[in-house]
Chains A and B, each alone.
Chain A
Amino acid sequence: MNPLEARTDALAWRSAVSILLFIALWEVAARVHVAPAILLPPFSIVAEQLWRSILDGTLAADLSLSLARAICGLVLATAGGVILGLLMARNRMVDWLVDPLVALGFPAPKIAFIPIFILWFGIESLSKILLVMFACIFPVIIGTYSAARAVSRQFIWSALSLGSSRSSVFLHVILPACYPRIFTTFRIAVPVGLITTFTAEMVAGGGGMGATLIYSQRFFESPTVFAYIVVMLAIGLMFDAAMRRFQSRFLRWAES
């Protein structure tokens, strides 16, 4: 086993220990009634509730709904963002038209637009998907744009002198050169997409993890609150791990 692998293993061990320690502390603190049971239910009770939600299918239903919304929104945001970003990089007119909107939209708290989306698209999935797209598209546009602009001229000239046509250069040189940067912005967009979905569901209802979470809070069902937060955390971790895997598999060639 080489030293790098050994170190990753050690880190995994230590993380596992940290987590177990954390859970143990949680259980003890709750049982000892450091805080009222309403505020801090013991881990065992939360785990029990979690198991119940899994068994009766509510978790599966909520989770799949939220994830579906988030993923659709992200896919739209990525597709739209990449296309817009590339267009802006290639065409001065498009750049001039769209740039102020992007500059205004990027720092804006997109969450504030939830009521508009609800107004236009209702409280079901459509409004959530479009809101996610709205929230996630800006970083993708910006990332794609700067990646496309930064593709070294020498890359392009080399390709041209090796006999590629202009469109071929675009498809086979500029676009692939942008992949790492696009992927990085996608990685940033994913948590934003998840947050936006959950928040939109918390504000507007209409099913999904967020809606159940806020109902549980309103009815003081704290084990469900905790259980759902744990699930959201796990989902976030899984997504991140999956993306890191993907990155090391397919984008190894790019310097991180």
Chain B
Amino acid sequence: MKKPDRLLFSAKRGVVRIVPLILFGLAWHVVCSAGLVNRDFLPAPAAVAAALADLFKGGEIARNLTITLFRATVGLVLGAICGIWIGVMMARSRRFREYVTPIVGGTYSLPKSALIPLFALWFGIGNITSIAAVFLACLLPMIVNTYHGVVTTPKVLVWSAEALGTGERELWPRIFIRNALPDIFTGLRIALGFSFVLAISAEMIASTNGIGKLIFMYGENGTYDYMFAAIVCIVIVAFFADRVLILLTRRLLVWHESAVAELDARRP
């Protein structure tokens, strides 16, 4: 498809996909104006939009969003780096794997947000608690996916590389890790989701700032239109973060046949 045709096609598809959301918004508006629901429980879309605009003007959203995103990102990056390293080590060394697997398996079952009170106990209320929670939550999917990606490298690829003169050390960066990249990016997408969830959880439970705290605070104060506004904001940010990651992955993994299909999990 030619470039301009493709853009038009995507634009059309984008518009078509938004229509149900617009319908949903209209339904929301109708429900509110018709007074079907108590105004307190469900602010009208107009009110929420106004609140959102106000928050942007006042800078509260920007400030708190930055804090939340900072915590989520730092935790995610640290978690990803450590997770990939551990996953590779587990694939590389049987001994390492045997010692680490029980720990990994164990923490899989532990709801990481349960550790937030513990971290609050240890590190107080602030960045470290949030980052630690995000870090731990992101660690697991990265470890598991990296390991899976390395371990499912087809034997014939490894053998071909060896027959073409690849030394044992070089197999790792050249073959195993390259083969694992699609899985690593799948893990990254999962970890991205977790990073938002845990950052916000930590803020709601044990913090004095951040968007989670903001939402919670507005709820307590009863200013529900601001509360809804903040929630809408974070949902949109999370959505776009996810999209950006998908686009990035498609770019980097241009060679992978199902990279597109896997990540856009909706399409079979």
Contact = CB atoms under 8 A, between A and B. Distances in A.
Q: A contacts B directly in the complex (CB < 8 Å)?
A: yes
A103 B243 CA distance: 10
A103 B197 contact: no
B60 interface: no
Contact of B224 (A11, A18, A119, A235): A119
Contacts of A114: 204, 216
Given A111-B201, A112-B212, A97 B20 contact: yes
A20 B111 CA distance: 22
Interface stretch (B49-57, B97-105, B147-155): B97-105
A163 interface: no
Interface string B28-42: 000000000000010
A109 interface: yes
B77 to A, nearest CB: 18
Interface string A96-137: 111111111011111111111011100000000000000000
Contacts of B113: 195, 198-199, 202
Given A217-B117, A229-B118, A199 B215 contact: no
A39 B121 CA distance: 7
A239 B115 CA distance: 19
Contacts of B121: 38-39, 217, 220, 222, 225
A142 B265 contact: yes
A202 B23 CA distance: 35
Q: Taking chain A's interface residues, is the majority helix, strand, or loop, or is none over half, making it mixed?
A: helix
B99 A18 contact: yes
Interface in A184-223: 191, 194-195, 198-199, 202-203, 210, 213-214, 216-217, 220, 222
Contacts, number: 160
Contact of A111 (B16, B115, B204, B242): B204
Interface stretch (B82-90, B176-184, B226-234, B248-256): B226-234
A112 B109 contact: no
Interface of B: 16-18, 20-21, 23-24, 41, 98-99, 101-103, 105-106, 108-118, 120-122, 192-193, 196-197, 200-201, 204-206, 211-212, 215-216, 218-219, 224, 227-228, 231, 234-235, 238-239, 241-242, 265-268
8 contacts: A103-B239, A145-B268, A203-B204, A213-B117, A214-B117, A217-B120, A226-B118, A233-B110
